[in-house]
Chain A
Amino acid sequence: MSERQFKVVGHSEVKVDALALASGQPLFTDDVDIPGMLHAKILWSPHAHARIVRIDASEARALPGVVCVLTHEDVPRVMKTTAGQGWPEPSPYDTPMLDSKVRYVGDRVAAVAAETRKIAEEAIKLIKVEYEVLPAVFDIRTADAPGTAVIHDEPDAKAVIPVPYWPERNTAAYVDMRIGDLDAGFADSDVVVEQEVETQYGQHCPLEPHVTICRIDEYGRLVIRTSTQVPFHVRRIVAQACGIPVRQVRVIKPRIGGGFGAKQEVLEDIVAMLCLRTGRPVKLEYTRSEEFVSTRTRHPSVSRVKLGFKRDGTLKALYLRVRTNTGAYGSHALTVVCNAGAKTLPLYRCENIGFDGDSVYTNLPVAGAYRGYGGTQGAFALEVAMDEAARTLGKDPVELRRALHIREGEGSAVFRALGEGQEGVEQKIGSCGLSRCLDLGAEAIGWKDRDSRRGSGRYRRGFGMCALMQGSSIPEIDMGSASIKMNDDGSFNLLMGATDLGTGSDTVLAQIAAEALGTTLDRIIVYSSDTDLTPFDVGAYASSTTYLSGEAVRRTALKVRDQIIVVAARLLNCQKEEVELPGNGTAAGRGKTVSYEDIARHALYAHDQFQIGAIASAISHASPPPFAAHFAEVEVDTFTGKVRVVKYVAAVDCGTAINPKLAEGQIEGAVANGIGYALLEEMVFNDRGLCLNPSFRHYRIMGPMDMPEMVTILVPTYEPTGPYGAKSVSEICINGPLPCISNAIRDAVGVRLTRSPFTAERVWQALQGRPA
């Protein structure tokens, strides 16, 4: 695959906001001081499952400094989903702003707005609630069993798209898919491998917790300044929840301190309501423990995979069963479980494929969108089974992947059969560098001579690998748009709905714009994610920003480029077709050159004046997968069970890396997060549904001294449907560490860890031959 050379695209330009951020400029939601601002606090449920029999906020309201208290009796009951997804949302409408029932420890009970944070905290304690405690449901395996307490017994919970929704069985989502003849496939197999895995509750831990400031502007409109990945969904859903028209709402996303999916969720409704009721600015800032418990988490899961092979390594049958625990509300329930199959099953060529997925309600924290989004859970199952299969077949795990993986030009029936919630979209692979990823990754870890490096004695080393795919955007469903206008000095304002959560999308998209416009990055002034000023974008999720929003930006820029050429032709006194744009903010023709500044001034002031500018949109018709091969070297302390990742190699095909350093940054951050999830992270609950470790002291994420030697390899390909050949890179690599590390532990000490995190205790127990 030849590497195309671009002027701006493909270069590791410094992020447009990097210096400002590193200098501590006041760019985040809470970095403004608004006179008269009130502080909001929420009363959270102490019970996992209970009815609110009586709620008395009179003492709280009487406390000096308290301006407003809201209970379920004070707000309209509008059933909605909090999931930041396109309308109509594929998640059930099971969440009112405040309810007369609580469904997990940490659920909303009431909200207070007061003059100071301290007063708000005091007021919370004064709200008297009488609960009727109900039996609680905690077990993912039995949540749907007959006779179990029903968590969503309200008559007005509903699915708004035609998908299975059985709240009477605590089932928030169900999906199944069959391709070919699974039974015949297994019957025809020489070797059948079955594997069960289980994943835990984990939280995104963005360093900036959720924070929102709402105010009423001078024209009476509700302005929401919030740390969100989905400003346009926030606007729509807050308007819906508060019963006001969308045109009365403006949402602004400033710089945000990470999201990873936690902020693809609309939690702003309660702050908005406090603001509307008081007429004053109101801030709600989650504490870290509230961030853990009362925002969103990853879906815990139990999965079973069954693979049937011929002796020569042909895959005859592939079955995946995934059940997720969506917690107390069904946000992202259907789409995450669908993705567990959609982002894994097409990877290997097979004629007989089956998938069964469901998602159950429990009285535990609400699972939502989290980087990987089902792919993490599914890849764990599949790649561990593939590893066992390789062992049983006597084949090198790398070679087994190489022989089986989908190739350029090929399709998979899974793409059509399994979308995100609804039917998917057929596609053929337009770019696939997986084979090269396997080569380069294997080389970087020293795969060939691993047999000689396992060591003996107390510390044993092992090597594991996995192959991965993900997607780029949700085809036919999600849309992004951009607008560009040209300024006097040849610079451009680039306005896009697309949401930079720290990923650097402002920069990546500006690079695409600069490339298409024929200018340099420093001439692009980026402004994003303001529902009044920037055109629509679904927001940052589904790995869509570079691929989809980037395409919208490219199309917009090309429209503007055409206009530049028209004006240039006038100035150069030549035909449009003779105008060349060398890429440095000039136009040349018939031996002369004009600057973009000349062109802009002419268009704005001189003759036949018009604003050089355009707006364009994009939807995608495919979701071209990025591919990756990950390799891990681990060291197991056989005395304590502790696993240390010594070296981790990620070789990734994301098409064209628009900004290689930023792409590497996505890979490295995702791997770090994935290793933490594989070894360290677990939200732990007592038998009453209380989270015991909602803090960084007790819920451990990877620190700088925990990181292995990290090797990041970008394997360029060119995706014909992506802007300048790009695919996504943001999610895929978080899916690698779980299977890679389980495979490496197996290689090191011969035990298979199937329940994450692979704590030292679990490894030690496995080594003793005891069940984990």
Chain B
Amino acid sequence: MKTVIEVNGKVHELDVPPDEILLDTLRALGYKGVKRGCETGTCGTCAVLLDGVPHYSCMLLTAAMDGHKVTTIEGLGTPSNPHPIVQAMAEEGGVQCGYCTPGIVLSAKALLDENPHPTEAEVREALDGHLCRCTGYVKKVKAVLKAADMMHRQGGQQ
């Protein structure tokens, strides 16, 4: 089925089986930062921003995504030019195995886009729907708060 989606600003004209999930499509297109963890909409490692809003890509049929915009972690900078949230995650010790991190960074971005000065409780709420087995979330939450601070100093969002 012909489907057009935009990923990180790049338009992809696709022809996909009607039951292909967006997770599989994105990984096949090379967006390996989108991970497979449960395929049941519970762990968040597959999370992307759909029109700026966090969604589980394992719970979306690609063919139904025609006309939508997707943001993956690859759309948020590079290791040499990292997004402040990515940088803060690294610096605060919020990255252990790293498998859950891209999804969490995206939800954090969605939060900070809407609420540039969140409280700790609001950060925790924004990470709800993401599971991490390595960190206990402690330093991940710290990292998002630090990123908010960094972005504030930089004078706005990226």
Binding site for B on A (CB under 8 A): 12, 14-15, 17-28, 30-31, 204-209, 255-258, 260, 285, 287-288, 501-504, 661-662, 664-665, 668-673, 695-697, 701-705, 707, 710, 712
**Quick check: is B51 within 8 A (CB to CB) of the other chain?**
no
Kindly state the separation between the CA atoms of A24 and B141 in the bound complex, as whole angstroms: 19
**Quick check: is B155 within 8 A (CB to CB) of the other chain?**
no
The residue on B at minimum CB distance from A504 is: B96
Asked if A21 meets B135 with Cβ closer than 8 Å, knowing A208-B35, A208-B37, A288-B40, the reply is no
Q: Which residues of B contact A24 (CB under 8 A)?
A: 31-34, 72-74, 101-102
Q: Which residues of A contact B127 (CB under 8 A)?
A: 703-705
Of the candidates A20, A209, A669, A705, which one forms a contact with B125 in the assembled complex, judged by CB atoms under 8 Å apart? A705
In the complex, what's the smallest C-beta–C-beta distance from B121 to chain A, in angstroms?
9
Kindly state the separation between the CA atoms of A704 and B39 in the bound complex, as whole angstroms: 20
Of the candidates B33, B78, B79, B96, which one forms a contact with A503 in the assembled complex, judged by CB atoms under 8 Å apart? B96
Of the candidates B36, B82, B135, which one forms a contact with A23 in the assembled complex, judged by CB atoms under 8 Å apart? B82
Instruction: Check B97–A288 contact: CB distance below 8 A.
Output: no
Kindly state the separation between the CA atoms of A227 and B141 in the bound complex, as whole angstroms: 27
Q: Which residues of B contact A503 (CB under 8 A)?
A: 96
Q: Which residues of A contact B74 (CB under 8 A)?
A: 23-24
Instruction: Check A707–B32 contact: CB distance below 8 A.
Output: no
Say whether chain A's binding surface is mostly helix, strand, loop, or mixed: loop
Asked if A665 meets B93 with Cβ closer than 8 Å, knowing A24-B33, A696-B131, A704-B127, the reply is yes
Instruction: Check B133–A671 contact: CB distance below 8 A.
Output: no
Asked if A18 meets B98 with Cβ closer than 8 Å, knowing A26-B32, A207-B132, A665-B134, the reply is yes
Q: Which residues of A contact B137 (CB under 8 A)?
A: 672, 702-704, 707
Q: Which residues of B contact A672 (CB under 8 A)?
A: 133, 135-137
In the complex, what's the smallest C-beta–C-beta distance from B109 to chain A, in angstroms?
12
Of the candidates A30, A664, A701, A704, which one forms a contact with B133 in the assembled complex, judged by CB atoms under 8 Å apart? A701
Kindly state the separation between the CA atoms of A27 and B77 in the bound complex, as whole angstroms: 17
**Quick check: is B25 within 8 A (CB to CB) of the other chain?**
no
Instruction: Check B79–A20 contact: CB distance below 8 A.
Output: yes
Instruction: Check B133–A673 contact: CB distance below 8 A.
Output: yes
The residue on A at minimum CB distance from B31 is: A24
Q: Which residues of B contact A22 (CB under 8 A)?
A: 82, 86, 89-90, 94-95, 98, 101-102, 105
Chain B 20-57 interface mask (CB, 8 Å, partner A; 1/0): 00000001000111111111101101000000000000
| Top 7 A-B pairs, shortest CB-CB distance | A24-B33, A502-B97, A21-B98, A257-B99, A672-B136, A24-B73, A18-B90
Kindly state the separation between the CA atoms of A672 and B128 in the bound complex, as whole angstroms: 15
Instruction: Check B32–A665 contact: CB distance below 8 A.
Output: no
Q: Which residues of A contact B92 (CB under 8 A)?
A: 661
Total interface residues in chain B, CB < 8 Å: 56
**Quick check: is B15 within 8 A (CB to CB) of the other chain?**
no
Q: Which residues of A contact B89 (CB under 8 A)?
A: 18, 22
**Quick check: is B14 within 8 A (CB to CB) of the other chain?**
no
Chain B residues 110-130 with CB under 8 Å of chain A are 124-125, 127-130
The residue on A at minimum CB distance from B80 is: A19
Instruction: Check B105–A288 contact: CB distance below 8 A.
Output: no
Q: Which residues of A contact B77 (CB under 8 A)?
A: 23
Q: Which residues of B contact A504 (CB under 8 A)?
A: 96
Q: Which residues of B contact A705 (CB under 8 A)?
A: 124-125, 127-128
Q: Which residues of A contact B131 (CB under 8 A)?
A: 205, 207, 696, 701, 703
Given contacts A669-B133, A673-B133, A707-B138, 20 further A-B contacts (CB under 8 A): A14-B90, A19-B79, A22-B90, A27-B98, A206-B97, A206-B133, A257-B37, A257-B45, A257-B97, A258-B96, A288-B39, A502-B97, A661-B93, A668-B135, A695-B40, A696-B131, A702-B136, A703-B130, A704-B130, A704-B137
Q: Which residues of B contact A12 (CB under 8 A)?
A: 93
Instruction: Check A25–B38 contact: CB distance below 8 A.
Output: no
Of the candidates B72, B87, B99, which one forms a contact with A207 in the assembled complex, judged by CB atoms under 8 Å apart? B99
Kindly state the separation between the CA atoms of A256 and B37 in the bound complex, as whole angstroms: 12
Kindly state the separation between the CA atoms of A661 and B135 in the bound complex, as whole angstroms: 11
Instruction: Check A696–B38 contact: CB distance below 8 A.
Output: yes
Binding site for A on B (CB under 8 A): 27, 31-40, 42-43, 45, 72-74, 76-79, 82, 86-87, 89-102, 105, 124-125, 127-141
8 of the cross-chain contacts (CB-CB < 8 Å) are A14-B91, A24-B73, A207-B97, A257-B35, A288-B40, A503-B96, A661-B93, A665-B135
Instruction: Check B43–A207 contact: CB distance below 8 A.
Output: yes
Instruction: Check A23–B33 contact: CB distance below 8 A.
Output: yes
Query: Could you count the A-B residue pairs with CB atoms below 8 Å apart for me: how many are there?
Result: 190
Instruction: Check B86–A23 contact: CB distance below 8 A.
Output: yes
Q: Which residues of B contact A17 (CB under 8 A)?
A: 95, 98
Instruction: Check B40–A207 contact: CB distance below 8 A.
Output: no
Instruction: Check A695–B38 contact: CB distance below 8 A.
Output: yes
The residue on B at minimum CB distance from A27 is: B98
Instruction: Check B133–A207 contact: CB distance below 8 A.
Output: yes
Kindly state the separation between the CA atoms of A707 and B125 in the bound complex, as whole angstroms: 12
Kindly state the separation between the CA atoms of A174 and B140 in the bound complex, as whole angstroms: 43
In the complex, what's the smallest C-beta–C-beta distance from B95 to chain A, in angstroms?
4
Kindly state the separation between the CA atoms of A27 and B76 in the bound complex, as whole angstroms: 17
Instruction: Check B42–A697 contact: CB distance below 8 A.
Output: yes
In the complex, what's the smallest C-beta–C-beta distance from A561 to chain B, in angstroms?
29
The residue on A at minimum CB distance from B72 is: A24
Kindly state the separation between the CA atoms of A257 and B133 in the bound complex, as whole angstroms: 9
Of the candidates B42, B79, B82, which one forms a contact with A696 in the assembled complex, judged by CB atoms under 8 Å apart? B42
Instruction: Check A288–B95 contact: CB distance below 8 A.
Output: no
Asked if A285 meets B36 with Cβ closer than 8 Å, knowing A503-B96, A704-B140, the reply is yes
Kindly state the separation between the CA atoms of A20 and B133 in the bound complex, as whole angstroms: 19
Chain A CB within 10 A, most for which of B38, B91, B127: B38
Kindly state the separation between the CA atoms of A670 and B133 in the bound complex, as whole angstroms: 9
Kindly state the separation between the CA atoms of A735 and B99 in the bound complex, as whole angstroms: 25
Kindly state the separation between the CA atoms of A705 and B87 in the bound complex, as whole angstroms: 23
Kindly state the separation between the CA atoms of A257 and B37 in the bound complex, as whole angstroms: 10
In the complex, what's the smallest C-beta–C-beta distance from A741 to chain B, in angstroms?
15
Of the candidates A14, A27, A665, A695, which one forms a contact with B96 in the assembled complex, judged by CB atoms under 8 Å apart? A665
In the complex, what's the smallest C-beta–C-beta distance from A675 to chain B, in angstroms?
9
Chain B CB within 10 A, most for which of A204, A502, A697: A502
Of the candidates B38, B95, B132, B140, which one forms a contact with A15 in the assembled complex, judged by CB atoms under 8 Å apart? B95
Q: Which residues of A contact B102 (CB under 8 A)?
A: 22-24
Asked if A502 meets B79 with Cβ closer than 8 Å, knowing A258-B133, A707-B138, the reply is no
Instruction: Check B36–A30 contact: CB distance below 8 A.
Output: yes
Q: Which residues of B contact A260 (CB under 8 A)?
A: 133
In the complex, what's the smallest C-beta–C-beta distance from B70 to chain A, in angstroms?
14
Q: Which residues of A contact B124 (CB under 8 A)?
A: 704-705, 707
Kindly state the separation between the CA atoms of A209 and B97 in the bound complex, as whole angstroms: 13
Instruction: Check B86–A703 contact: CB distance below 8 A.
Output: no
Chain B CB within 10 A, most for which of A30, A501, A664, A668: A668
In the complex, what's the smallest C-beta–C-beta distance from B84 to chain A, in angstroms?
11
Instruction: Check A704–B141 contact: CB distance below 8 A.
Output: yes
The residue on A at minimum CB distance from B92 is: A661
Chain A CB within 10 A, most for which of B45, B94, B96: B96
The residue on B at minimum CB distance from A24 is: B33
Kindly state the separation between the CA atoms of A26 and B74 in the bound complex, as whole angstroms: 10
Instruction: Check A710–B98 contact: CB distance below 8 A.
Output: no
Instruction: Check B138–A207 contact: CB distance below 8 A.
Output: no
Kindly state the separation between the CA atoms of A707 and B127 in the bound complex, as whole angstroms: 12
Q: Which residues of B contact A501 (CB under 8 A)?
A: 97
Q: Which residues of A contact B36 (CB under 8 A)?
A: 30, 209, 285
